């Protein structure tokens, strides 16, 4: 039976991938293996829950009191800068963390490094360092206190937002609701706060760095923090009480700006943390500046990032050595590459990351410029677009069961003159007559109107698939019941000659 009777509209939705008058320099990526973890409960509620039975003397729920120093004054507690302008924070990691926890903590620190000049380095002989340890709860001192200082990230703290909250304390930042001008932005509802908890809502003579109040800060209390009456809020934004405060995902764009301003970081960076938005080069649609080196970190609250370019015009050069854009499948320049150095002008196909993180890098030299680029991003539940010479990928949730009601597209594109060799090493989908519930279809081209190479379900061995051209599309469909583990796949991009020699 022809699978196209199930998906007659997909060709219209997907559309053909056009040939590109672009120059793309390919390289093989390294697989990071770090799975992104996102949160839905707000950060501070998790922290308070984790610290509920802590015996540690804590201020505002998670701030360690330093004897002889104000809990809020941090004029002399910044971390030192190196000769190259980076802020160096040596760290010690407890041996009690498992591999997944180490990966999450490392990934949380990596986001600081991508968009600020802060660099976390393993401690050797440095006098000052943070000791990331498994004490009871989540807590930290404000700023560098001197010597080896603990940052507690216990079992209830293993969420990116909680980790970044405590690290941001260690960098010198207080809770957002405690800043000196907070009464201009929020009302503290003391009638719903027990007398013993009122100390957690004091404001302080703080250095606000000339930046506006941030309701979305990783350092902001939720609206019901320390409430003594169910359903009543202790913090109400003004003038609009409906403004969202407190979140569960991590650093905000203003958090990044504050770090860069406090430490005088000379870095061009942006954090885009909403479900959708726009990315444009400087001065667009006028010419971008010479000697630019900028990054945009897209971190959606959940799902995967989908990026579509509306316009692209970057100075052309051999192998894009002068000006270029480069896109990574993750939060750092060590993440797998989605699109390697690209320059010229024309249309770039839609890009889909494998997690809720995507990093865009743009570099220009000191000579010719062009109008640059404009792109929009939103979220997708699953799928991917792959342009690198090789890659491993899986169905969502693998090796556990896949999810309900998926329609996932995995589009692989090779340079002109190359073919794709696909190997599915593990395959198990719900079995049914005519695969009418769950199935995987593989097309010899970039859309579902292309010739069908494979269509199946159940637990079967999948033959190696080879494209006749430079593109291949995988389409995974699932219904709302009886799920299995899905599939594990890898591909390589080979020349026509190498394919003949296989």
Q: Per residue in 130-176, pLDDT tens?
A: 999 999 899 999 999 999 999 999 988 999 999 999 999 999 999 99
Mean pLDDT of 451-471: 96
pLDDT tens digit sequence for 157-168: 999 999 999 999
Select the highest-mean-pLDDT range: 3-7, 378-382, 426-430, 498-502.
Answer: 426-430
Question: Looking at the 3D structure of the chain, how many domains does it have?
Answer: 3
Q: Which tokens is 439 given?
A: 């199935």
Residue 204 lies in a domain: no
**CATH number for the domain that contains residue 431:** 2.60.120.290
Q: Is residue 285 part of a domain?
A: yes
Neighbours of 65 (CB within 10 A): 14
Orientation of helix 99-115 relative to helix 253-262, angle to 10°? 70
Lowest mean pLDDT among 33-37, 397-401, 403-407, 475-479: 33-37
Average per-residue pLDDT in the chain?
A: 88
Instruction: Looking at the structure, tell me whether residues 381 and 433 fall in a common domain.
Output: no
pLDDT of residue 72: 55
Kindly state the tokens that stand for 236.
Answer: 């109400």
With bands split at pLDDT 50, 70 and 90, how would you rate the model's confidence at 498?
A: low
Q: Show which of 128, 152, 174 is a domain's final residue.
A: 174
Q: Are residues 366 and 381 in the same domain?
A: yes
Mean pLDDT of 445-468: 96
470: pLDDT strictly greater than 70: yes
Q: Which of 346, 370, 385 is the last residue of a domain?
A: 385
Q: Is residue 260 part of a domain?
A: no
Domain co-membership, 324 together with 394 = no
The string of pLDDT tens digits covering residues 66-85 is 655 444 556 678 999 999 99
Say what the pLDDT of residue 502 is: 54
For residue 356, whether the previous peptide bond is cis, meaning omega lies within 30 degrees of 0, is no
Q: Are 73 and 135 members of one domain?
A: yes
Residue 23 has pLDDT above 70, yes or no: no
Same domain, 274 and 310: yes
- Residue 223 corresponds to which tokens in the numbers above? 């609206």
How do beta strands 465-466 and 418-428 pair? antiparallel
> pLDDT-derived band of residue 39, with 50, 70 and 90 as boundaries?
very low
State the average pLDDT over residues 28-48. 55
My answer on whether 380 and 393 are in the same domain is no
Angle between helices 160-171 and 253-262 (to 10 degrees): 20
Residue 320, pLDDT above cutoff 60:
yes
Q: What is the pTM of this model?
A: 0.81
Residue 50 falls inside a structural domain: yes
Position 486 in a domain: yes
274 and 393 in a single domain? The answer is: no
Q: From 361, 385, 409, give the residue that closes a domain.
A: 385
* Count of residues making up the chain: 502
The pLDDT of 308-329, averaged and rounded, is 95
The reported pLDDT for the residue numbered 425 is 97
Query: Beta strand pairing status for 304-314 and 351-352?
Result: antiparallel
Q: Which of 389, 390, 343, 336 lies closest to 359, judged by CA?
A: 336
Establish whether 166 is a catalytic residue.
Answer: yes
Quick: pLDDT tens for 285-295: 999 999 999 99
Q: How far apart are CA 149 and CA 170, in angstroms?
A: 9
pLDDT exceeding 70 applies to what percent of the chain?
88
Q: pLDDT at residue 436 above 60?
A: yes
CA atoms within 13 A on the CB side of 10: 21
Of residues 177 and 51, more confidently modeled: 177
pLDDT > 60? residue 8: no
Average pLDDT over residues 83-105: 96
- The answer to whether position 440 is within a domain reads yes
4 has a pLDDT exceeding 60:
no
Based on the domain organization, do 352 and 423 belong to the same domain? no
| 320/440 same-domain check | no
Q: With cut-offs at 50, 70 and 90, classify the pLDDT of residue 467.
A: very high
Query: What's the pLDDT score for residue 310?
Result: 95
CATH code (residue 105): 3.40.390.10
- Domain annotation covers residue 194: no
- Rounded mean pLDDT, 298-318: 94
Q: Does residue 116 surpass a pLDDT of 50?
A: yes
- 285 and 379 co-located in one domain: yes
Residue 457 scores a pLDDT above 60: yes
The answer on 363 and 467 residing in a single domain is no
Structural domain range at position 428: 3-17+389-501
Same-domain status, 285 and 355: yes
The string of pLDDT tens digits covering residues 251-272 is 999 999 999 999 999 999 999 9
Tokens standing for 127?
Answer: 């006098």
Name the band, by pLDDT with cuts 50, 70 and 90, for residue 51: confident
Mean pLDDT of 339-361: 91
Residue 230 located in a structural domain: no
In three-state form (DSSP H/G/I as H, E/B as E, the rest C), the secondary structure along 85-128 is CCEEEEEEECCCCCHHHHHHHHHHHHHHHHHCCEEEEECCCCCC
Indicate whether 26 pLDDT > 70. Answer: no
Among 60, 166, 176, 430, the active-site one is: 166
The sheet with strand 439-443 has its strands ordered as 384-386, 407-413, 471-477, 439-443, 452-456
Place 18 in a pLDDT band, splitting at 50, 70 and 90: very low
């Amino acid at each position: 039976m022809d699978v196209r009777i199930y998906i007659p509209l997909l060709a219209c939705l997907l559309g053909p991938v056009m040939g590109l008058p672009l120059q793309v320099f390919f390289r093989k990526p390294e697989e990071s293996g770090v799975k992104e973890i996102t949160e839905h409960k707000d950060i501070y509620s998790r922290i308070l829950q984790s610290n509920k039975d802590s015996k540690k003397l804590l201020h505002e729920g998670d701030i360690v009191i330093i004897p002889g120093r104000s809990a809020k004054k941090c004029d002399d507690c910044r971390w030192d800068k190196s000769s190259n302008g980076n802020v160096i924070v040596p760290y010690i990691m407890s041996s009690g963390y498992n591999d997944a926890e180490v990966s999450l903590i490392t990934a949380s620190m990596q986001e600081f490094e991508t968009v600020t000049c802060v660099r976390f380095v393993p401690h050797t002989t440095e006098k000052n360092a943070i000791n990331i340890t498994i004490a009871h709860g989540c807590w930290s001192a404000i700023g560098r206190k001197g010597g080896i200082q603990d940052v507690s990230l216990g079992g209830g703290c293993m969420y990116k937002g909680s980790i970044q909250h405590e690290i941001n304390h260690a960098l010198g930042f207080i809770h957002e609701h405690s800043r000196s001008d907070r009464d201009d932005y929020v009302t503290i509802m003391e009638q719903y706060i027990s007398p013993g908890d009122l100390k957690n809502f004091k404001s302080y003579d703080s250095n606000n760095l000339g930046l506006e109040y941030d309701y979305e800060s990783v350092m902001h209390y939720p609206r019901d923090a320390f409430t003594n009456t169910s359903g009543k809020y202790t913090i109400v934004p003004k003038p609009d009480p409906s403004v969202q405060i407190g979140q569960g995902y991590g650093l905000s764009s203003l958090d990044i700006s504050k770090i860069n301003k406090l430490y005088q970081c000379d870095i061009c960076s942006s954090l885009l943390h909403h479900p959708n938005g726009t990315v444009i080069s400087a001065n667009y649609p006028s010419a971008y500046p010479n000697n630019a080196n900028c990054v945009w970190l897209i971190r959606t609250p959940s799902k995967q990032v989908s990026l579509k370019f509306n316009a692209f015009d970057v100075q052309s050069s051999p192998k894009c050595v002068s000006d270029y854009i480069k896109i990574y499948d993750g939060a750092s320049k060590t993440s797998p590459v989605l699109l390697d150095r690209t320059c010229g002008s024309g249309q770039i196909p839609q890009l889909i990351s494998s997690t809720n993180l995507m990093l865009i890098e743009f570099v220009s030299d000191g000579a010719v410029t062009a109008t640059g680029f404009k792109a929009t991003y939103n979220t997708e539940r699953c799928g991917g677009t792959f342009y690198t010479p090789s890659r491993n990928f899986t169905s969502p949730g693998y090796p556990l069961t896949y999810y309900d009601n998926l329609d996932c597209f995995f589009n692989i594109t090779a340079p002109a003159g190359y073919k794709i060799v696909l190997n599915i090493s593990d395959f198990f989908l719900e079995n049914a007559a005519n695969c009418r519930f769950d199935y995987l279809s593989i097309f010899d081209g970039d859309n579902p109107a292309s010739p069908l190479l494979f269509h199946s379900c159940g637990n079967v061995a999948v033959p190696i698939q080879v494209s006749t051209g430079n593109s291949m599309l995988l389409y995974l469909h699932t219904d709302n019941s009886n799920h299995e583990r899905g599939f594990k796949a890898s591909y390589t991009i080979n020349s026509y000659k190498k394919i003949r020699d296989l």
